[in-house]
Each structure stands twice: as structure tokens, then as C-alpha cells.
Amino acid sequence: MKQVADKYNVSGAQVVFRWDNQKGVVPVTATCSEAHAKGDLESFGFQLSGADMLKLDALMPSEAIVV
């Protein structure tokens, strides 16, 4: 995760938001910090490459987790 975040010069959270979005998922967040909210929105300012999407996909468990 850090390697991908460093590549795009973004935070790990921004990578996760971008990954979710590119998978068709709309992440829902809540924050009291204006800076944090802006950081979340910046996840729409870049695209992850196909290779990076596959790297991140590989980090997910093979079975769905239901909480």
C-alpha cells in the first residue's frame, strides 16, 4: 500500500478511496477535520494503473468478510 501511495505522492487512505472508486464502490467517510475532508476529495484527482489495481486486489482476502 505504501509503495503505491508513494508512487502517486498520496496517502494510503487516498489510495484506498481511489481503488474503491475504480472498483465501482463509493466510499462513505466522516471527519471533523477540513484538511482530512480535502484529502479524501483529492482521491478523485488521480487514476491507479491496471498493474497497481492488481497489486491492491492481491491484498484482499480470498473470501468476503461480513461484519
* Residue 39 contacts residue 11 (beta carbons within 8 Å): yes
Task: Kindly state the cell numbers that stand for 43.
Answer: 482521491
Give the model's pLDDT for residue 67.
66
Q: Give the pTM.
A: 0.81
How do residues 19-39 score in pLDDT, each as one tens digit? 999 999 887 878 888 888 888
What is the residue-averaged pLDDT of the chain? 88
* Residue 21 contacts residue 53 (beta carbons within 8 Å): no
